[in-house]
Amino acid sequence: MITDDEFEGLFHEAGGDFAVPARGPDEILAAAAPPVRDGSVVPGRFRPRQLALAGTSAAAVVALTVALLTSSGGSPAPLAASAPRHGIANTSTASTSGTNNYAYKAMASPFPPGAKKAASQAANAAARDIIATGTLKLGLSRARLRGDVARLEALAASFGGYVSAADIVETGSRPGGTIVVKVPAGSFSSFISKAEKIARVRSLTTSDTDVTGEVVDLGAQLTALDDERSQLEVLLGRAGKISELLSVENEIESVQSQIQQIQGEQRTIATQVDYSALTVDLLVPKAPHVSSSPNGFGHALHEAVSSFVNGVKALVAHLGDVVFGVLSFVVVALILFGLWRSIWPWVRRRIA
C-alpha cells in the first residue's frame, strides 16, 4: 500500500512535470481588461466561446448574403414567386366573373414549355427551402358541391395530404365555400393538375417563397443561444451569492425562452416547406329568384288591393294640381259672390 507521503511525492513529481506557460497570467489579465486599449484591439486568443459566437455570426451573415444574391441576383430563381407556374399567369387571379372566367380553357396544357426546365432547376436546388402555396377557384353546381368536396378530400389523401380547414355552406342563397388542402411539397404540382379536373377552373394562382436565408439565420441564432445557455449553466454552478444566482437563472430563463421560440419557428417553417397549402374556393352560381307570393284567390285579392292602393296613390299624385286649381276657383267664386250680394242692393236702388 502506498502511503500518503509517497502519494504526495508522486503527485508533485507528476504535476511538476508539466511546464507552466509563462504567458498564461499575462494573457488572462489582458483578457480580463477592456477589449480596446489605446485604440488597438487586444489579441483575442482567449474567450474561445466568444470567438465561436463571432464565427457563427459571420458564417450566418455570409450564408444570408449568398442566399439573397442567389435568389434575387442575375441567376434565375427556379421557383421565384413571380414566375408563372402550371401555365397560369398571376394576372388570372382577379378573373372570377365575366368572360375571363373561361380564358383558362384556352390553354391546352397546364404546363408551359419552360415549366419542365424550371422543375429541373428546382431539383438541382434541392438544398433550398421553399414554401409553395396556391389558390384554386373552381366553379361548380349546387348539386355537385358535396360530391366535389369529398373528391378533393380523397384526392388529398391519395397524395398523402389532408384538409387542414374547411368552410362549406350547402344551403341558402349563396352556397359554396373554401377548403385548404395541404399536400407534400413534392406532390403539389401533381395534386393541382388532378384538382383542376374535378370542376371548371375559374382561376389558379401559385406562389413560391424561398426561406433558405431565414432557415440559415434561425439555425445560427439557435447555435449561438445554445452556446450562451451552456455558458450560463456553468456560471450558475459558480454563483456565490443569491443575487448572482437569481441573475444567472433569469438570464438562463430568457435564453431558454428565445431558444424555444426559435425552435417553434423552425418547426413551423419546416411544416410549411414540407407541406404545400392549396386554398380551393368553391364557387356556386347564384340561384334564380323564386317568388314566394301565394297563388289563387288570395293572390288575386292581394294584387287587387295593391292595385287599388297604387291607383289611389297615382291619382293623388297626378290630380294634385287639378284639385288645387278647383279649390282656388271656388274660393275666388265665393269672394265674387259675396261682393255681388253686397253691391247688388245699392245698384238696384240706383236703377230704380
Partner 1 sequence: MRSWYAPAYRTACLVLNDASGAEEAVQEAFLRMWRFRDAMPEGEAARPWLYRVVVNSCYSWARKQWSTDGRRAPSDSLARLAEASPGPDEIVVIGDRASAVRAALARLPEALRVPVVLRYYSGLSEKEIAVAIHRRPGTVKSRLHEARRLLSADAALSEFAAPEEGTR
**Rounded least distance, CB 267 to partner 1, Å:** 23
**Rounded least distance, CB 238 to partner 1, Å:** 6
Rounded Cα–Cα distance for residues 269 and 286 (Å): 39
* Given 1, 41, 108, 126, the residue binding partner 1 (CB under 8 A): 1
Contact (CB, 8 A) for 139 and 199: yes
Q: Which is nearer to partner 1, 17 or 321 (CB)?
A: 17
**Rounded least distance, CB 244 to partner 1, Å:** 6
**Rounded least distance, CB 250 to partner 1, Å:** 16
In order of 20, 21, 30, 146, 238, the CA distances from 25 in angstroms are 10, 9, 9, 80, 21
Q: Which is nearer to partner 1, 7 or 162 (CB)?
A: 7
Kindly state whether residue 35 participates in binding partner 1, applying the rule CB under 8 A: no
Rounded Cα–Cα distance for residues 140 and 266 (Å): 39
**Rounded least distance, CB 164 to partner 1, Å:** 37
- DSSP lists the bridge partners of residue 203 as 137
283, burial (CB in 10 Å: exposed 0-12, middle 13-18, buried 19+): buried
Kindly state whether residue 13 participates in binding partner 1, applying the rule CB under 8 A: yes
Site residues (CB under 8 A) for partner 1, limited to 286-305: none
Both ends of the chain: CA-CA distance in Å? 180
* Given 37, 47, 117, 299, the residue binding partner 1 (CB under 8 A): 47
**Rounded least distance, CB 253 to partner 1, Å:** 20
Kindly state whether residue 157 participates in binding partner 1, applying the rule CB under 8 A: no
**Residues 14-33: x/- map of binding to partner 1 (CB under 8 A)?**
xxxxx-xx--xx-xxx-xx-
**Residues 233-252: x/- map of binding to partner 1 (CB under 8 A)?**
-xx-xxxxx--x--------
Site residues (CB under 8 A) for partner 1, limited to 80-109: none
Kindly state whether residue 48 participates in binding partner 1, applying the rule CB under 8 A: yes
Residues 6+ apart with CB under 8 A from 161: 181, 182, 183, 184, 187, 191, 275
Q: Total residues at the site for partner 1 (CB under 8 A)?
A: 38
Residues 6+ apart with CB under 8 A from 194: 155
Instruction: Point out which residues bind partner 1 (CB under 8 A).
Output: 1-8, 10-18, 20-21, 24-25, 27-29, 31-32, 46-48, 230, 234-235, 237-241, 244
